[in-house]
Amino acid sequence: MGELANKCCKCEPYEVGFIAECKDRSNCLYGDGADMQWDDKFGLIETGKDYMAENTKVIDGVGKDAEIITNAAGGKQSKAPMAMYLVDPNYLELMFKDMAEKMEYLDEGDSTVVDEKNIDKYSCCVAIENIAIYMRTGIDWNLTLAMDSLCDDTLQQIIAIAKVLQYGADRYEPNNWRLIPEEEHINHALIHIIAHLAGDTQDDHINHALCRLMMAKATEKSEGFSYTNYVKKTS
């Protein structure tokens, strides 16, 4: 996520924080041509261009059109297309740690660095690694590390989370997410990050992952649930 400055669809299609000045185009890098108009989601866009149609679908069930389900407590959310939270945490941790390490190399000063072109992929791998460590150990700090890996700018992180919360409040009810157990928030966070890594652009996956991780930090697991042990199915 970049700085809040002079952004529009031509340079940053999915920028989190389009500056308000862009709305009257006084700060637009591309002038005030008749082919541009303001859109509250995307900022300045080309007139007549369907940006949502350009979304890349890689994984079924991770877009805004996913089926909505309601749990016994009344919590509503998109139906998860897979059970990523049931993948063994040790396997998940080692797999993504290995992926991250393969992107690291030593620079001339013997410091470990990552090529700029791999930063996004690397950050996602480190985030999943930390989520897996949390699943294995229960140490809450690892969820914070995962969030910071996805977005190391605290202000941008909060903005991204708040925008997703507003979307959820409008679509369902305010604080509906508190009726959903922690493990389901973890599952959706992992799915969003995996979808982003896979190149799926049906949704703002990183922003939703950040929000789901915040939700996981604030909720409790279902009674009897464990990421690492057998869980007896309840009727």
Amino acid at residue number 29? L
Please check whether residue 98 lies inside any domain of the structure.
yes
Indicate the average pLDDT of the chain: 85
Instruction: Round to whole Å and give the CA distance between 49 and 44.
Output: 11
134: which 2 tokens? 């949390």
Domain count, the chain: 2
Please check whether residue 226 lies inside any domain of the structure.
no
Q: Do 128 and 189 belong to one domain? A: yes
- The tens digit of pLDDT for each residue in 190-219 reads 999 999 999 999 999 999 999 999 999 999
Q: Do 46 and 131 belong to one domain? A: no
Instruction: Round to whole Å and give the CA distance between 119 and 2.
Output: 13
Which is nearest to 33 in space by CA: 43, 21, 25, 22? Answer: 25
Domain residue limits at 3: 1-54
Q: Do 89 and 201 belong to one domain? A: yes
Q: Do 23 and 110 belong to one domain? A: no
Q: Given this model, what pLDDT does residue 28 score?
A: 54
Inter-axis angle of helices 89-101 and 119-137, nearest 10:
150
Section 178-187 average pLDDT: 98
Q: Do 48 and 78 belong to one domain? A: no
Between 156 and 47, the higher pLDDT residue = 156
- The tens digit of pLDDT for each residue in 36-88 reads 555 544 444 455 555 445 689 999 999 989 999 999 999 999 999 999 999 99
Q: Do 45 and 90 belong to one domain? A: no
Which is nearest to 36 in space by CA: 5, 54, 17, 9? Answer: 9
Confidence of residue 138 (pLDDT cuts 50, 70, 90): very high
pLDDT of 235 above 80: no
Q: Do 43 and 114 belong to one domain? A: no
Place of tokens 């700018």: 153
- The tens digit of pLDDT for each residue in 112-123 reads 999 999 999 999
Phi and psi at residue 101, in whole multiples of 5°? -65, -30
Q: Given this model, what pLDDT does residue 34 score?
A: 52
Contact 220, 181 (CB under 8 A): yes
Q: Given this model, what pLDDT does residue 18 score?
A: 44
Q: Do 93 and 135 belong to one domain? A: yes
Please check whether residue 230 lies inside any domain of the structure.
no
Please check whether residue 108 lies inside any domain of the structure.
yes
Does the model's pTM come out above 0.85? no
| DSSP helix/strand/coil, 76 | strand
